[in-house]
Amino acid sequence: MKTLTVSEAKPRLGRLVNAVQRGEPVLLIHKNKLAKLERYEVLDPEFDSPALEAALLKAVQGPHSLYRRKDLDAVAARVRQRIKAR
């Protein structure tokens, strides 16, 4: 595994991406934080639907989800009330 600072990686980014695509992970150091670059395979919904479903479910339920179920239910209730008021 290659380990570089962000400053060292900037001029070599294209080559590092090529290395990652060949399966060689790269570890970047920025100040006192680490980031790992690794190959990502795009899922094909026709062939990988269980994996895609799991990835989407993880994203929806993960820390990056903007709304909780309670928030979405409240929005839905307001929309239904506006529709009835018409």
Output 24-33 pairs: Cβ under 8 A, ≥24 positions apart: 25/1, 26/1, 26/2, 27/1, 27/2, 27/3, 28/3, 28/4, 29/3, 29/4, 29/5, 30/5, 30/6
Pairing of β 26-30 and β 33-37: antiparallel
pLDDT of the residue at 5 = 94
Instruction: Set out the domains of the chain in order of their start, with CATH numbers.
Output: 2-37 (3.40.1620.10), 49-85 (no CATH)
Mean pLDDT of 31-49: 81
pLDDT of the residue at 75 = 83
Can you give the length of the chain in residues? Answer: 86
pLDDT of 46 higher than 70: no
